[in-house]
Structure 1
Amino acid sequence: MNPSTMYLHTSEAARKLGVSTKALRLYEERGLITPRRTSAGYRIYDEGIMVRAAEVVALRALGLSLAQVTRVLEGEPRDLEFALVLHEAKLGDEIHHLVCTKDKVNHLRAQLAQGKVPAEGEVARLLKPSTGLSVAFELPWPWGGEWFELRDIQSLNFIVGSLGSGKTRFAQCLAEELPDALFVGLDRFDEGRSASSVRLHADKALQLRVNQALAWLVEEGGTESENLIALLAGLEAEGPTALVIDMVEQGLDRGTQEALIALLRQRARMGARPLFLMTRSSSILDLAAMGPNESIVFCPPNHSPPVQVAPYPGAPGYEAVAMCLASPEVRERTAGMVAWLPEASGLSRATQLR
């Protein structure tokens, strides 16, 4: 090795690239990067590998699947062209927003020149504009009518809670209170697989969107299944301004869950309609991978009102959320089970595993 070359360990490379170490391992598994190894077997990243990895990260940020990234790096430009068209449209929206913000700044300066003080909250809204979507309502049973407010709703929102916490009832109520929202329940499976087929056959535009999403997910490592198609039929439906999905991971294996959340995160970055995902899977809600346009709503097991939880260790409620999450394999093995822990300090506690 050249002593003048800088080498980074995996954690250092991930931090510099702004991704998780898990993402770097995935890129390596897919053959997109090949870090060197020390004599002790540790991965190290030199300048050349970091340049390659940065290109992969940038292509992923544009919304390309791992298979599409591979094709682009091999010299096939078609997938990149489509991604750049979408990115250009997003930049146009951001430019429009900046122009509007500049106009507001000019207006405030004109007011100050006339000796007028801005109205309360006007400067705060300028620096941190509202997403424009909020909801407030009385919580249903089992809470007993407590008032709940959710302001500046993010693009991607996770609803987490243990078995019996009331999260399903909360999610249904949320869908009813949000303007033009749709609740996609587990009846997407109970109605029968044929129902999805009939629906897709009758709506060719929906079928095209489902097929495109399905192809992306399969390229990303997902597995095509009737459960996945039934879910996509709900996710791709036109009309609702927001979607609330009951147990989004239901019937999906680990690879499919990881591919699905990658797709939904990519869409969230592109400004898609807000999604509320009920989940207890650590593959869907990877706390270490949460972005700035995501949020968590936690339903406590003691039926205290739902609360928003910040996604970092030490934040109120963080450990409770983490304890609700499990890998897809564990979730499948323990679905519907309740494990009782022995009495401790005079108190009997139950840990619900679903």
Structure 2
Amino acid sequence: MKPTPELKVSFDLPWPWGGEQFELTDIRSLNYIVGPLGSGKTRLALRLAEIMPNAAFLGLDRLAEGGMAARARTDADPALKSRVDQILSWLVDEGACVSDALVALIVGLETEGPATLIVDMAEQGLDHATQEALSAHLRQRADGRPIFLLTRSSVILDLSAVGSDEAIILCPANHSPPTRVAPYPGAPGYEAVATCLALPEVRARTEGVIAWRPGVA
């Protein structure tokens, strides 16, 4: 993978921010969006999908009805099915467990067309070993198009393994503008990022928890 420094975006931040100008430059092949519950990760991701040229948002609706839409897409596209099957085979060799959630995610990642992919909670429905295999796959994929991953998994975003072609974007709890965070202890924002991440076994305990703001439906 190679960094894509020529790609940058600038826009006004949506709620829960106050409309501040936000500029994202030096976009990398893998870009992680991290923050606590209610910090605005999803709203930032949706705004990026609107602003960035030819971007696609891969939301959690990919899991609906056991990933039926993804399977229908592969049934209608033999070339896509071949790519997905090859990746699934590699992931299994690396310890992954094939599931509807994994198939739906890989189909979304391998669908041709979008120049940028923005994925909501890539780890959703995947066990520890599968997340490890997926992370390895994402780091070595060949197409190089930028991917933004919303995550709260310390397996998907292993702070000890972040490379030069990866970037971390933190949405702070106090709703100050998102910031880039360097992946080493002592860097501004590093500890905040670390506290947002947890192992899949820990994340499973808070499955279904949502952030609620009094007076907001």
Which bin holds the TM-score, normalised by the shorter protein?
Answer: over 0.9
Where does residue 257 of structure 1 map in the other structure? 131
Where does residue 175 of structure 1 map in the other structure? 49
CA contact under 8 A between 1:184 and 1:234: conserved in structure 2? Answer: yes
1:275 matches 2:147: yes
1:217 matches 2:81: no
Secondary structure of 1:137 counterpart: strand
CA contact under 8 A between 1:166 and 1:299: conserved in structure 2? Answer: yes
Match of 2:5 among 112, 125, 131: 131
1:155 matches 2:55: no
Secondary structure of 2:148 counterpart: strand
User: How far 1:271 moved relative to its partner?
Assistant: 5.6
Structure 2 distance, partners of 1:130, 1:203, is 29
Where does residue 207 of structure 1 map in the other structure? 81
Where does residue 102 of structure 2 map in the other structure? 228
Structure 2 distance, partners of 1:287, 1:134, is 24
In structure 2, runs of 5+ residues without a counterpart are 211-217
- Superposed, which structure 2 residues align to 1:232-251 within 5 Å? 232-251=106-125
- Superposed, which structure 2 residues align to 1:1-354 within 5 Å? 131-190=5-64, 192-267=66-141, 270=142, 272-337=144-209
Q: Under a length normalisation based on structure 2, what TM-score does the superposition of the two structures give?
A: 0.92
Amino acid at match of 1:132: E
**Number of matched residues?**
210
User: How far 1:132 moved relative to its partner?
Assistant: 1.3
Structure 2 distance, partners of 1:156, 1:265, is 8
Structure 2 distance, partners of 1:219, 1:304, is 43
User: How far 1:190 moved relative to its partner?
Assistant: 2.1
CA contact under 8 A between 2:13 and 2:22: conserved in structure 1? Answer: yes
Secondary structure of 1:330 counterpart: helix
In structure 1, runs of 5+ residues without a counterpart are 1-89, 95-128, 339-354
User: How far 1:152 moved relative to its partner?
Assistant: 1.4
User: How far 1:205 moved relative to its partner?
Assistant: 1.1
Q: Under a length normalisation based on structure 1, what TM-score does the superposition of the two structures give?
A: 0.57
User: How far 1:130 moved relative to its partner?
Assistant: 6.6
Classify 1:227/1:144 alpha carbon distance in 2 versus 1 (closer, same or farther; 3 Å).
same
CA contact under 8 A between 2:39 and 2:173: conserved in structure 1? Answer: yes
CA contact under 8 A between 1:155 and 1:271: conserved in structure 2? Answer: no
Give the greater-gyration-radius structure (CA).
Answer: 1
Structure 2 distance, partners of 1:260, 1:327, is 15
Where does residue 215 of structure 2 map in the other structure? none
Percent identity between matched residues is 63
Secondary structure of 1:297 counterpart: strand
Secondary structure of 2:118 counterpart: strand
Secondary structure of 2:50 counterpart: helix
Bigger helix share: 1
Amino acid at match of 2:166: E
CA contact under 8 A between 2:4 and 2:29: conserved in structure 1? Answer: no
Secondary structure of 1:157 counterpart: strand
By relative contact order (CA 8 Å, sep 6+), the higher-ranking structure is 2
Structure 1 distance, partners of 2:165, 2:84, is 24
User: How far 1:215 moved relative to its partner?
Assistant: 0.6
CA contact under 8 A between 1:214 and 1:224: conserved in structure 2? Answer: yes
Structure 2 distance, partners of 1:317, 1:133, is 24
Structure 2 distance, partners of 1:276, 1:224, is 23
Amino acid at match of 1:215: S
Q: Deviations over 1:253-310 (max 9, x none)?
A: 000000001000012xx46101100000000000000001100000011111111100
Structure 2 distance, partners of 1:222, 1:135, is 35
User: How far 1:199 moved relative to its partner?
Assistant: 1.2
